[in-house]
Amino acid sequence: MPYSLDPLAFAPQLKRSRVTFFTLLKALGVASLIAPFTVSCSTRNQAKPMPSGFVKKVSKDETGTRRVTKMLERAGKEPLKGMEAEEAFLVAETLLQEKQFDAAAKLYGAVFDVQPTLVAGLKLARLLTLSGETARAENVVKKLELLYPKSAEPSLALAFLEQIRGSRDEALVTLEDAYRKHSKSEEVAARYTEILLEAGKKEKAKSILYESIRAMPNSTYFLLRLARLRTEDGNFKEAKNLLDRLLRVDPENTDAWMLAGYIASEEKNNEAAERYFREAYEKQPENDVLARYYVGQLLRQEKYQEARRLLVRLEQAADETSPLDPELTFQLGYVLFQLEDYKEAKKRFEGLAEKSADKGRMYFFVGQCEELLKNALSAQAWYQRIPMESEFHTQGQQRSIILTLEEGKVDAARAQLDTYARESRGEEAHFRFLATIQARLKEHTKAMETVVAGLAKHPTSVELEYLRAAYLEHTSSREASLKALEEFLKKHPSHSQALNHLAYAFAESGTRLEFAESLLKRALKDDPKNGFYLDSLGWVYAKQGKLDAAEKHLLLALQQEPEEPVILEHLGEVKMMRNEFGLALKYFERAQSVFGEKPAWKIESDAEWKLSASRVKERIRELRRMALGSDAAGVAR
């Protein structure tokens, strides 16, 4: 789903027990400029503690315009002295909290001129950088490098400044030098790793991560960052080992649980993936991204009821100030759709229709709901709204054509089909759909021409090759088609539709029944709940006289396809073979009833249905005559 985030997207999580530039920028309210590294400040470099009661002396009430103006005027004329510098530092801190950045920068500058502490210098450099005074900021940072050679913070600040100016190569050199001097600094190693990755130097970044883990074995940042890189490489085993170490250090780390879920999902271990995503979500239930991943895993396992409960709870907890994430709303609509609650599903999709960037997807799903609610005209209207650029445009066209056919409007369907053909971009699926509808309209020559044209453009298409073999029955002969299907299965022995097609043809003719049985068992191995394959096997058993096996498989088929009249006909025939004429009549009458609900054109266009409807009608006549004959004999006696 669109909209879902890449599970490998990463933001470093460092220990933040010290004062950091991250914290400073949050105070400044400039989120877009938050650098992906932290700046720790040693307490020995900070300004001296103020005397007791001094903070009250410069409280917010006393930092009004007049007092600040006076202090700024004084700072601009001559260097601050002693307590003045310390007072100015505290006033600058207050101004910073009040987001009076220019005034704060002036006072930090005045303080730095007389007390060039690391804290004052770093704050001044950051404010100068944010205001665009990068040359002054660079001078401050370079002075700090000379004054505090054992501190990594000036180098980190310089690298940030170089990146702000778009000089990534200079920043890389600065961080490489900083790493040589401060290899045991978590911030330096982390920032160096990130810039190496930005520069495409992945192997070097991995070597830094391995070195950092040896030096700092309990660093959750390095363990997680390396685990992500090994996941990208497909080395899931090492990634899982790293995550195992990380979770022993920090069992509450949601990023680690999330990555573990992603790996389990890639390894098709759905139960483990669900467990890991649930762990992550339960630790941060307010995190919509984690909720989407957890729900996504539930959907992958078709645990729709569980997904519905979770999503409904999230929907009920949402309000106007904190609305439900649109993708979670879509997931709820999809879950309700799968649970056949089409009315409620439609409400969710309609609610998203005009807000979503992917309108085509919403229009398609609203159309699907309307179609299943038997509102064909409304469904078509929604399908026709899908924009051409949407990935759902073609599917919407196809469903609209099928609905038009379902209504018996053959001429209108042909017109839609012509439009569909003109708008095609020549995809393989286009040729398959076009040929299938043409065959349904009994335009078999056209259908074969479409298949041939499709194969010319997509010569490796297995499905088009299958259709060519199948359509030979109508354009050449049944024997030619069966021969072509056998040749096709030699190349594609697991193509279940072809296996069923060939086997059913033999069942209908009563020939090669053991071979037909083996074909169908192969088809059902791949698709054990396919009602049509079960019906074919049941019909093969009936032709073999294995009536118990026949009835068993036909009843299973009916469970999967309760409205398929051919299955009902076959069950009627098995009951006839058992001399259970009353039950046989009931099955035939049910089949006739189902046929009666189908439009005449649809039965006429389906050769199997047409033949089955005729046979059912004759069987009903026959059984009723038998019943009448039995009654007459009883009266004579």
pLDDT digits (tens, 9 = 90+) for 562-587: 999 999 999 999 999 999 999 999 99
Mean pLDDT computed over 29-39: 31
Check whether 33 has a pLDDT greater than 70: no
How far are the Cα atoms of 121, 137, 139, 154 from residue 143, in angstroms, in the given order?
9, 10, 6, 9
Give the burial class of 581: count Cβ atoms within 10 A of its Cβ; 0-12 exposed, 13-18 middle, 19 or more buried. middle
DSSP one-letter string for 578-607? TT-HHHHHHHHHHHHHHHHHS-HHHHHH-H
Angle between helical axes of 410-423 and 393-406 (0-180°, round to 10) = 160
Question: What region does 19 belong to: left with phi over 0, alpha with psi -120 to 50, or beta?
Answer: beta
Q: Residue 611 pLDDT more than 70? A: yes
Amino acid at 119: V
Structure tokens at 322: 């904190």
Torsion angle in degrees (nearest 10) through CA of 518, 521, 526, 529: 150
Find where tokens 């959907």 sit: 299
Residues 71 and 49 sit within 8 Å (Cβ to Cβ): no
How confident is the model over 322-332, as pLDDT tens digits? 888 999 999 99
Separation CA 103–CA 92 (nearest Å): 7
What sign results for the dihedral spanned by CA atoms 99, 101, 107, 108? positive
Give whole-number Cα distances, 573 to 362, 563, 597, 613, 618, in Å.
Answer: 46, 17, 22, 13, 12
Sole residue written with tokens 């900083």: 178
Residue with tokens 């005074």: 133
Per DSSP, the chain holds a count of helices (H) and strands (E) of 35, 0
633: exposed, middle or buried (Cβ count in 10 Å: 0-12, 13-18, 19+)? exposed
Per the CB < 8 A criterion, the answer to whether 125 and 158 are in contact is: no
Measured CA to CA, the distance from residue 544 to residue 534 in angstroms comes to: 15
Distance CA 592, CA 107 (A): 93
Q: What is the pLDDT of residue 46?
A: 37
- Classify residue 149 as exposed, middle or buried by CB count within 10 Å of its CB (0-12, 13-18, 19+): exposed
Tell me the whole-structure pTM to 2 decimals: 0.67
What's the pLDDT band for 356 if we cut at 50, 70, 90?
A: confident
Measured CA to CA, the distance from residue 173 to residue 489 in angstroms comes to 62
Residues 6+ apart with CB under 8 A from 93: 104
pLDDT band at 590 (very low <50, low <70, confident <90, very high): very high
Lowest mean pLDDT among 103-117, 239-253, 431-445, 530-544: 103-117
Rg of the chain's alpha carbons, rounded to an integer?
37
Sign, Cα dihedral of 464, 466, 467, 468: positive
Give the pLDDT of residue 369.
Answer: 97
Q: Name which residue leads in pLDDT, 630 or 39.
A: 630
146-163 confidence digits (pLDDT tens): 999 999 999 999 998 888
**Three-state SS for 69?**
helix
Cα–Cα distance between 429 and 464 in angstroms, integer?
9
- For range 31-35, the mean pLDDT: 30
What's the mean pLDDT when you consider all of the chain? 86
Q: What is the dihedral of CA 122, 91, 55, 112, to 10 degrees?
A: 40
pLDDT in tens, 397-453: 999 999 998 888 889 999 999 999 988 888 999 999 999 999 998 899 999 999 999
Provide the 3-class DSSP secondary structure of residue 184: coil
Contacts with 454 (C-beta within 8 Å, 6 or more apart), sequence order: 428, 430, 431, 432, 435, 461, 464
More confident site: 41 or 182: 182
Tell me what percent of the chain is helix, strand and coil, each rounded to the nearest 5: 75, 0, 25
pLDDT digits (tens, 9 = 90+) for 8-26: 332 333 332 223 333 333 3
Alpha-carbon gap, residue 472 to 59, rounded angstroms: 93
Helix or strand run (H / E) with residue 120: helix 118-130
Q: What is the pLDDT of residue 66?
A: 66
